[in-house]
């Protein structure tokens, strides 16, 4: 049986391990840099942290949980679900915690991957699977003077719970997916909240609800109900995803829903103008909230749209020369989404560095594998993020595909499976042509590199991706025996 090393114990790493386990492959090790599993759901502890995908869909298909407390679950419930799944499958026995991978190199002679961790330990495996995700490294903005601030500051993904916010002047820089969750939570506690917005976000109503005991009993007692609920949310996501490329009218309907949401919740015309996006819906990540706009309407909140020029000891200076005094600065400025696998050094055949291969932007065949890097696969790799839908569904498609590759290698002990350059090139050429038709081209976002290449998103439905990954076509690969 091939030995497998999986990097990361988030949803991707757990899903990969379970898929191997369910198909009889037991020789795998998960290397996790932290002290517990969970990925972003372990790391992001900011107030109000929750998922914007309904829980029946944001979970493994083979591990349904009918007793969710809410339709859109909070961080604690999702993290506990992940730990429950790991316990049921006894995955903790296969996870090495505190093992941060710094380097992996393919040994041409042995036909194996040599993986080194920060503690100096070296491990080898026939197959290497990276499941480190796309949103694991917080991004600080390139604002001059950040280190000069005399107060306390932190990134929202590294929330400092020791910092007191009650009765203080707080500056929030950034208005993305995290900010719209923690701003309503901290607004009632602070004396003054200044929200620095570079670009307004498209915000949709969040059709959330608490799951009452009667609803949970129905899901448990009526056969097929959990599947039906999951299917209904999946179909809604697939319908909206069609609007990104094939049916633009759908996007216009969603746009109108967002506009109506803003009109109903923000009556002040000046504030509403500030919060009205100047780019097409879908270009940046769409957000879901029922309490973000009301929080911004409170008298202790100011939305500042003048560009920031620098951070000074007293607070934040904007281009009009005004210094906005603050005791605490919170940076809700997202993640380094286009720096895939960084800062790990991955070297393939003949010492080829993956960072050099990806110099113009990350790319991979089906988002899974790259020429010259035999027996290397990625979960949640380039161009497999979603504008609409559940990434768990995509992860399941990827883990099924990778498991088929491992089965093929099991049938050919010692072999090297490597995608053909022409197959990867043809896939990415077609992908970029389709991406050119999406709204993601009309603004700057974390979906794109500095050169404008869209490296993160899949331009279609999750069903279309599953069709592409349903079978491993050997004609797209070389299978080389030692």
What is the full DSSP assignment across 235-270?
A: HHHHHHHHTTTT-HHHHHHHHHHHHHHHHHH---HH
pLDDT beneath 50, residues of the chain: none
Find out whether 287 and 203 touch, Cβ atoms under 8 Å: yes
Is-same-fold flag (4-136+336-480; 146-202+245-331)? yes
Q: How far apart are CA 166 and CA 153, in angstroms?
A: 15
Structure tokens at 344: 């790990």
Q: How far apart are CA 100 and CA 117, in angstroms?
A: 5
For residue 157, the SS3 value is helix
For residue 78, the SS3 value is helix
The 10 Å Cβ neighbour count of residue 84 is 12
| pLDDT value at residue 234 | 92
DSSP string, 95-113: EEET--EEEEEEETTTTEE
Fold classification of 4-136+336-480 is FAD/NAD(P)-binding domain (3.50.50)
Beta bridge partners of 194: 171, 302
The 10 Å Cβ neighbour count of residue 188 is 11
Pairing of strands 95-97, 28-32: parallel
CATH number of 146-202+245-331: 3.50.50.60
Find out whether 15 and 395 touch, Cβ atoms under 8 Å: yes
Find out whether 245 and 437 touch, Cβ atoms under 8 Å: yes
How far CA 376 is from CA of 53, 354, 362, 447, 482, in Å, comes to 30, 11, 15, 24, 17
Kindly tell me the sign of the dihedral angle through the C-alpha atoms of 321, 327, 332, 336. positive
Q: What is the pLDDT of residues 54-68, one digit of tens each?
A: 999 999 999 988 788
Distance of CA 162 to the CA centre of its chain: 27
Q: How far apart are CA 239 and CA 257, in angstroms?
A: 15
Q: Kindly list the domain boundaries of the chain, sorted by start residue.
A: 4-136+336-480, 146-202+245-331
| pLDDT value at residue 58 | 95
* Residues ≥6 apart with Cβ < 8 Å to 69: 77, 210, 211
Q: How far apart are CA 39 and CA 10, in angstroms?
A: 4
Residue 315, φ and ψ in degrees, nearest 5:
160, -130
Q: What is the pLDDT of residues 194-249, one digit of tens each?
A: 999 999 999 999 999 888 888 778 777 777 778 888 899 999 999 888 887 778 78
| pLDDT value at residue 339 | 66
């Amino acid at each position: 049986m091939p030995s497998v090393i999986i990097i990361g114990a988030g949803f991707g790493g757990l899903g990969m391990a379970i898929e191997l386990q369910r198909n009889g492959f037991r020789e795998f090790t998960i290397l996790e840099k932290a002290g517990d599993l969970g990925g972003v759901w372990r790391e992001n502890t900011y107030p109000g942290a929750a998922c914007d995908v309904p829980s029946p869909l944001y979970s493994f298909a083979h591990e349904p949980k009918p007793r969710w407390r809410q339709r859109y679950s909070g961080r604690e419930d999702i993290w506990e679900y992940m730990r429950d799944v790991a316990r049921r499958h006894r995955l903790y026995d296969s996870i090495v915690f505190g093992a941060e991978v710094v380097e992996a190199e393919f040994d041409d002679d042995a036909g194996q991957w040599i993986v080194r961790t920060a503690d100096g330990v070296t491990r080898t495996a026939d197959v290497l699977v990276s499941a480190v995700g796309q949103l694991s490294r917080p991004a600080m903005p390139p604002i001059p003077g950040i280190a000069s601030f005399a107060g306390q500051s932190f990134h929202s993904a590294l929330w400092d719970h020791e910092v007191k916010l009650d009765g203080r002047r707080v500056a929030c820089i950034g208005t993305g997916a995290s900010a719209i969750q923690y701003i309503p939570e901290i607004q009632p506690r602070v004396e003054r909240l200044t929200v620095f917005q570079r670009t307004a976000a498209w915000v949709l109503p969040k059709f959330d609800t608490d799951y009452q005991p009667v609803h949970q009993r129905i899901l448990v007692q009526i056969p097929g109900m959990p599947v039906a609920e999951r299917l209904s949310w999946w179909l809604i996501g697939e319908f909206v995803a069609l609007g990104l490329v094939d049916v633009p009218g759908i996007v216009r309907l969603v746009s109108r829903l967002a506009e109506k949401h803003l009109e109903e919740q923000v009556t002040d015309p000046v504030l509403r103008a500030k919060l009205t996006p100047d780019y097409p819906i879908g270009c940046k990540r769409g957000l879901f909230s029922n309490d973000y706009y009301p929080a911004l309407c409170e008298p202790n909140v100011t939305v500042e749209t003048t560009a920031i020029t620098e951070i000074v000891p007293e607070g934040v200076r904007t281009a009009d020369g005004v210094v906005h005094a603050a005791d605490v600065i919170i940076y809700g400025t997202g993640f380094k989404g286009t720096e895939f696998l960084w800062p790990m050094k991955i070297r393939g055949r003949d010492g080829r560095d993956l960072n050099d291969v990806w110099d113009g932007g990350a790319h991979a065949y089906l988002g899974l594998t790259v020429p010259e890097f035999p027996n290397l696969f990625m979960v949640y790799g380039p161009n497999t993020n979603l504008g609409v839908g559940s990434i768990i569904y995509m992860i399941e498609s990827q883990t099924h595909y990778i498991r088929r590759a491992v089965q093929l290698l099991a049938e050919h002990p010692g072999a090297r499976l490597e995608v053909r350059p022409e197959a990867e090139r043809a896939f990415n050429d077609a992908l970029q042509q389709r991406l050119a038709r999406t709204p993601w081209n009309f603004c700057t976002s974390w979906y794109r590199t500095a050169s404008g290449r869209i490296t993160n998103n899949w331009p279609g439905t999750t069903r279309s991706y599953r069709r592409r990954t349903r079978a491993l076509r050997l004609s797209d690969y070389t299978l080389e025996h030692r």
